[in-house]
Structure 1
Amino acid sequence: MRTRPLIGVTLDSEPAGGWSKLPWYALRQNYFDAVIAAGGLPVALPHEPALAAAYLDEIDGLLVTGGAFDVDPALWGGGAPHPKVTLKPGRTDFELAATRAALAKDKPVLGICGGQQLLAVAFGGTLIQHIPDEVPGALAHEQPNPRTEPGHEVAITAGTLLARIVGNPRMAVNSAHHQAVATAGSGVINAVAPDGVVEGIEHPGHRFALGVQWHPEYAIDPRDPSIFTAFVEASR
């Protein structure tokens, strides 16, 4: 019998060239480290959409990670991709299938950065394709300072799951994104940046379906680890 819940972690992917002469998967170690520190047993999930439901039969929770790419606007009615949009169709197809399978089985889902944006699409929501073009006076959400430092603060909505988890109305966060959630579909917004950009979403109709735009695996704010702890505990 497992004493740690099995947490499926989605991977990033790159084509042949650069580091490898063949296509390859990769992910920063701190995603896995954060899950382990919270009491989970992380396993990596390759991009096979046809196997998404089978994976969800085995794992106890799903962590959808971020990366330097975007959700295809065609999946949420966003029209033609903005010139700054980068697509990874194989990854998105798998992550969307896995997220929908997790929600259908009411298994916990935590979406981080691009994972939050994908979760919003799974909720029936929409995205901002390029923040500088759509948000007047926007902050530098692709922060110029290192990702190991705060980029800005977020305000957390009282009474939400996120508020209960972190126990504070504000958090310092890092910021590495040019897109953002515009609408949360059937979900609710639980955190915003000072410029009004959505920084967190959740779905009260599910046991645990939470997305954050920042990267809590860096533990920039002392409350960041509690997000992973709550996710892993919900997966037991």
Structure 2
Amino acid sequence: MTRSRPLIGVTLDSEAAIPDGSGYSRFPWYALRCNYMDAIADAGGLPVALPHRADLAAAMLARLDGLVITGGAFDLDPVLYGAGRRHDSVTLKAGRTQAELALAQGAIASGLPVLGICGGQQLLAVALGGTLVQHIPDEVAAPLAHEQPNPRDQAGHEVDILPGTLLARVTGATRIAVNSAHHQAVRDPGRAAICAVAPDGVAEAIEYPGHPFCLGVQWHPEFAISLADRHIFSALIEASGSR
């Protein structure tokens, strides 16, 4: 490790300009909840925000020791995973997706440790050749409330962690309570493998076997509602610091 704290790139959300001045800015702006950065720093990493510049993805990755792809209230374009139609509930942020795909694909190819959170897990699945369920209520029989009504810093449901997986080794658990804020899910993980599932069968975590550390979780471990959530960030920092 060349630095006392491994440098962890964190992707940002983005919002369009609001010309009438009723929002944060009259010009386009980036956004990120503080707890993403705090979770990385508390685990021993040095977080740094990454702009939505797909053309700079390789240059950014060359400076980083690890990568976190964050969540957000938007979806991937179904065209990216070969779907013939787009569900009415799907909303897009094309510039963000293009940048995050470039980062994810570069991290996967180079062996850079990467953690995908919520929508970041779905993006990892697509980057690895997978497909998505576009709207859980339309495709899953008797689904859980994956868009939980209670606050995000509380648990919404439990997930079962598959034995022998990276996630099982990292968390030391077979079942954990998680917070849930998504209407889509991984259908086919592509070259990845599903490593946790909800009681209704929805995929809750994926990992890429053979990669030093490539993990996606459908929940939000940055809220640290369980010890397992803290272990996930600690494992990312450990993998990033050992490169």
Q: TM-score, normalised by structure 2?
A: 0.96
Shift of 1:81: 1.5
- Within 5 Å, give how 1:143-182 maps onto structure 2: 143-182=148-187
Shift of 1:205: 1.7
Q: Distance in 2 between matches of 1:190 and 1:152?
A: 16
Q: Distance in 2 between matches of 1:178 and 1:12?
A: 18
Q: Distance in 2 between matches of 1:44 and 1:67?
A: 15
Query: Which of these residues, 87, 93, 98, is aligned with residue 82 of structure 1?
Result: 87
- Within 5 Å, give how 1:46-195 maps onto structure 2: 46-195=51-200
- Within 5 Å, give how 1:40-51 maps onto structure 2: 40-51=45-56
> What is the percent sequence identity of the aligned residues?
67
Shift of 1:79: 2.1
Q: Distance in 2 between matches of 1:113 and 1:20?
A: 27
State the number of aligned residues: 236
Over 2 Å off, 4+ runs? none
What SS is found at the alignment partner of 1:62? strand
Shift of 1:100: 0.4
Q: Distance in 1 between matches of 2:155 and 2:116?
A: 19
- Within 5 Å, give how 1:12-51 maps onto structure 2: 12-17=13-18, 18-51=23-56
Aligned CA-pair RMSD:
0.7
* Amino acid in the other structure paired with 2:100: E
Q: Would you say 1:5 and 2:6 are equivalent positions? A: yes
Shift of 1:220: 1.2
Q: Which sections of structure 1, spanning at least 5 residues, go unmatched?
A: none
Deviates more, 1:218-227 or 1:170-179: 218-227
Q: Distance in 2 between matches of 1:150 and 1:30?
A: 16
What SS is found at the alignment partner of 2:37? helix
Q: TM-score, normalised by structure 1?
A: 0.99
Aligned to 2:206: 201
Deviates more, 1:76-85 or 1:112-121: 76-85
Shift of 1:32: 0.1
What SS is found at the alignment partner of 1:81? coil
Q: Which sections of structure 2, spanning at least 5 residues, go unmatched?
A: none
* Amino acid in the other structure paired with 1:148: D
* Amino acid in the other structure paired with 1:118: L
1:79-114 superposed Cα distances (whole Å, 9 cap, x missing partner): 222110010000000000000011111000100000
Shift of 1:206: 0.6
Shift of 1:19: 1.5
Q: Distance in 2 between matches of 1:79 and 1:200?
A: 25
What SS is found at the alignment partner of 1:22? coil
What SS is found at the alignment partner of 2:38? helix
Q: Distance in 2 between matches of 1:80 and 1:25?
A: 29
Q: Distance in 2 between matches of 1:201 and 1:140?
A: 20
Q: Distance in 2 between matches of 1:87 and 1:79?
A: 16
What SS is found at the alignment partner of 1:223? helix
Shift of 1:203: 0.6
What SS is found at the alignment partner of 2:158? strand
